[in-house]
Amino acid sequence: MAQDQQGRDTYHHGNLPEALVREGARLLAEAGAEGFSLRKLAERTGVTVAAPSHHFGSAKGLLTAIATRGFEKLDHQMDVAASSANSPSDAVIAMCIAYLRMRTTHPGYADVMFQLNLLDARDERFRASAFRAFGKLETALAAALPTSLAADQIALKAKAIWAATHGLSVLPMIDGPESERIIEAVVAAQLGGSP
Amino acid sequence: MAQDQQGRDTYHHGNLPEALVREGARLLAEAGAEGFSLRKLAERTGVTVAAPSHHFGSAKGLLTAIATRGFEKLDHQMDVAASSANSPSDAVIAMCIAYLRMRTTHPGYADVMFQLNLLDARDERFRASAFRAFGKLETALAAALPTSLAADQIALKAKAIWAATHGLSVLPMIDGPESERIIEAVVAAQLGGSP
DNA sequence: CCACCTATCTAAACAGCGTTCAGTTACCCT
DNA sequence: AGGGTAACTGAACGCTGTTTAGATAGGTGG
């Protein structure tokens, strides 16, 4: 349908929530989280300012929905990355690199995914999609570790890698290529280190 | 002086920039970054809304100043933590734990330190104070590593540890005590891992 | 086929926000 | 003692997200 993206012939939009998420991510990509506003988005989408709040409650709710979608996209990118890896440990690294590259592959979504203060991190659907992506890394990590290792030890290592990856995505002092080299070293250290 | 904290007898405040930073951190600690506003802060401090902008340019400038102060406090906490460590590697871990504990030791400052989008990360003084703290960790790490190791290898490991620490501070899925256990494992892995 | 009924969206108003600017006040230096 | 400068005031501006009552469309049961 043409009215999915913007504009409409009818009074009802057709699929406003979807259009708001998509166009919202586009606005975020263009203007950054700074330049984002509900009013700009409403105008772009061809509805009134009040329309979004009916579906998402608040601006935070909408941004949370965008971030949720972002984690679904990350989840998919992680699948793609892992499928072309040669070994279990390479799969783990490839997944982390997919995380790091979200900024360039999905700019609008990444803007809000990595700024937890902009959204409601306790939202049920958001947490579910974020945990699904994390769980995927954890599973891949388990496959790269000796089967004798206890589950909670694996979980600890997964969190260490996830935290490092997130830190590298967020901190401005480290550029892209260097981040990827660092995460390779971190993963290698976690795989080879003592129990 | 009594007018340092709030109120004043004279037309001029006396030391408004300092008062704004201190009271700003207090407001952040009470209301969070959400509830923070320049107007509330101005009222608390006993000046007009326009007064802060004369010293800090913008709200972002003020928050940047608060974050800068925060990194100075972190720097000090890292000194304290390292001084009571028994070994070079313990010193590194203690410094990271000091980082993780900023949320509880200096709530207001931490609020803005870890939300880089609220401030101007390119600010000269801010970068200097952040890099000073990071450099301190890097130096401590070098002392815990074999002297044969190349400087850029040390830098890489320092960034890995710093990123992991930051990630643990920011991500909501990991609680305090667990974060500390994880960072111990990360440091140990970086110290013991391959060159 | 029509009448309802409910979800959807509009239009307008509101309070709060950061920023700007001309003007007033106090301090410092000569 | 006087003049210049830095500090702060007071008021206005434009923009923000949220709220409310009302208009409209679409699906559903008679």
Average pLDDT over residues A156-165: 98
Mean pLDDT of chain A: 93
Provide the pLDDT for residue A176: 85
Give chain B positions within 8 Å (CB) of A174: 159, 163
Q: How confident is the model at residue B119 (pLDDT cuts 50, 70, 90)?
A: very high
Chain A residue closest in CA terms to B112? A117
DSSP secondary-structure letter at B9? Answer: S
pTM of the model: 0.93
Contacts of B59 (CB under 8 A, 6+ apart): B38, B52, B53
Provide the pLDDT for residue B193: 56
Q: Over the range B38-71, which residues count as b (16 or more CB within 10 Å of their CB) and which as e?
A: bebbbebbbbeeebbeeebeebebbbbbbbbbbb
Chain B residue closest in CA terms to A32? B117
Interchain contact A131–B (C-beta under 8 A)? yes
Type and span of the H or E element at A117: none
Provide the pLDDT for residue B95: 98
Q: Report if CB A189 to strand C is under 7 Å.
A: no
Provide the pLDDT for residue A14: 81
CA angle B173, A165, A152 (to 5 degrees): 50
- Residue B12 is encoded by which pair of tokens? 């001029």
Give chain B positions within 8 Å (CB) of A173: 130-131, 134, 159
Contact A144, A191 (CB under 8 A): yes
